[in-house]
């Protein structure tokens, strides 16, 4: 399959800049508190310990901001925030600290699905309710109150179906299609769901060939590194599937450094996940073909759940948040204006 090869140099320059500065605010690694800080805070607030995965991506930073915005003293909360810097051992430590400090609730975004049974049993024994967010933990249901997040599997299926329709629309449905695939952190729900979802569509198409599939840990630097290797090995890549926007930004850098182009008018089509603001700009300027949204705004949903639990109300065990997708057939400028409000 050969896609249109025209480039608009000006637009590419702008989108590179946008891709490169995909930052939506920095967050301190931790807001460690002592047990006495916590018992003082408990007199007038609901104390919430939040173990976040890290700050590896724009999605993550926007996600953290959504918690910080709502878990304020003004709203009756006291937040103890811990950034695990993408290490499960740090999350285990953080949760054990929350238990020692005697927080009222624990919010945990588990980096991978396995390895949580023991620490969550400890939280249960201490009588501290746990809310799982974003990624899932493979534990029995009595170890947490509820899980809030995205349907990653559906995101993967939708991405595959989008590619199906796109190939039909450009008259390439029955041609050979060479795909390379950047994966997120192995064993994380986002990786598992998106990979499995996409693969369901992939196996219906014997002319879709996955040349390579590798982990790039959801980061821009790794995305660039792994894509650079793919480009050295394979001369005829038609499509890149990349499990988050930051890896896609890195891949765009690699593609351009190799003298190639991407997006609907380029050599390589790019399908990305997350839909953070810089990704929508990259889509608008023509370097991505489609982006499957993953809702970052979990903070307010978690706050609502905790308020309900605190009043003795029941909550749903599984709470999916809404999400959509974006491509060039849409009024992206208007969508970007709307989305900007989310991040202010």
Q: Kindly state the smallest distance separating residue 238's Cβ from ligand GYE, in Å.
A: 24
Stretch touching ligand GYE by CB under 6 A, among 54-62, 118-126, 156-164, 329-337:
54-62
60 lies in the site for ligand GYE, by CB under 6 A:
yes
Burial of 297 (0-12, 13-18, 19+ CB in 10 A): middle
Residues 183-212 that bind ligand GYE (CB under 6 A): 190
Binding string, residues 123-152; x marks residues near ligand GYE by CB under 6 A: -----------xx-----------------
Please give the Cα distance from 201 to 286 (Å, whole number): 25
Residue 120 as a binder of ligand GYE (CB under 6 A): the answer is: no
Q: Which is nearer to ligand GYE, 78 or 288 (CB)?
A: 288
Stretch that binds ligand GYE, among 5-13, 43-51, 57-65, 233-241 (CB under 6 A): 57-65
Judged by CB under 6 A, the residue of 59, 98, 116, 288 near ligand GYE is: 59
> Considering the rule CB under 6 A, would residue 56 count as an interface residue with ligand GYE?
yes
The C-alpha atoms of residue 309 and residue 145 are separated, in whole angstroms, by: 9
Backbone φ and ψ for 222, nearest 5 degrees, come out as -70, -40
Strands (E), 163-252: 177-183, 208-215, 239-242
218 binds ligand GYE (CB under 6 A): yes
Q: Which of 273, 285, 292, 326 lies at the binding interface for ligand GYE (CB under 6 A)?
A: 273
Phi/psi region, residue 213 (left: phi>0; alpha: psi -120 to 50; beta: rest), is beta
Asked whether position 155 contacts ligand GYE by CB under 6 A, the answer is no
Residue 317: CB minimum distance to ligand GYE, A? 19
Q: How far is the CB of 22 from ligand GYE (least distance, A)?
A: 10
Token pair of 129 as six digits: 């309710």
**Who's near 76: CB < 8 A, 6+ residues apart?**
45, 46
Integer Cα distance of 339 and 344 in angstroms:
9
Round the CA-based radius of gyration of the chain to a whole number and report it: 21
Residues 6 or more apart in contact with residue 338 via CB below 8 angstroms: none
Please, which residue, 129 or 223, has the CB nearer to ligand GYE?
Answer: 223
CB of 65 to ligand GYE, least distance (A): 14
Find out whether 46 and 300 touch, Cβ atoms under 8 Å.
Answer: no
**Residues near ligand GYE, by CB under 6 A:** 56-57, 59-60, 134-135, 190, 218, 244, 273-274, 294
């Amino acid at each position: 399959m050969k896609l249109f090869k025209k480039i608009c140099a000006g637009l590419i320059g702008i989108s590179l800049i946008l891709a490169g500065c995909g930052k939506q605010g920095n967050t301190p690694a931790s807001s460690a508190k002592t047990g006495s800080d916590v018992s003082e805070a408990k007199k007038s607030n609901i104390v919430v310990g939040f173990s976040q995965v890290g700050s590896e991506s724009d999605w993550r930073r926007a996600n953290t901001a959504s918690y910080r915005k709502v878990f304020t003293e003004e709203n009756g909360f006291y937040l103890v925030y811990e950034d695990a810097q993408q290490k499960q051992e740090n999350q285990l430590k953080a949760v054990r600290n929350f238990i020692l400090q005697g927080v009222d609730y624990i919010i945990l975004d588990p980096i991978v699905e396995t390895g949580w049974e023991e620490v969550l049993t400890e939280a249960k024994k201490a009588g501290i309710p746990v809310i799982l967010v974003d990624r899932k933990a493979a534990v029995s249901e009595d170890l947490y109150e509820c899980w809030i997040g995205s349907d990653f599997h559906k995101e993967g299926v939708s991405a595959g179906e989008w590619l199906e329709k796109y190939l039909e629309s450009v008259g390439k449905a029955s041609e050979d299609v060479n795909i390379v695939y950047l994966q997120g952190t192995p064993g994380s729900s986002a990786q598992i769901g998106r990979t499995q979802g996409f693969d369901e569509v992939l196996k219906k198409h014997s002319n879709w060939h996955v040349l390579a599939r590798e982990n790039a840990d959801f980061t821009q630097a790794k995305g660039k590194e792994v894509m650079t290797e793919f480009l050295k090995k394979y001369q005829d890549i038609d499509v890149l599937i990349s499990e988050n926007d930051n890896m896609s930004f890195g891949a765009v850098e690699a593609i351009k450094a190799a003298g190639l182009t991407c997006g609907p008018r380029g050599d390589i089509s790019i399908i990305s996940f997350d839909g953070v603001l810089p990704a929508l700009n990259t889509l608008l300027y023509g370097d991505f073909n489609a982006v499957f949204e993953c809702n970052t705004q979990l903070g307010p949903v978690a706050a609502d759940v905790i308020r309900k639990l605190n009043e003795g109300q029941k909550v749903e065990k599984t709470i999916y948040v809404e999400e959509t997708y974006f491509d060039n057939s849409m009024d992206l400028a208007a969508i970007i204006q709307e989305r900007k409000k989310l991040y202010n």
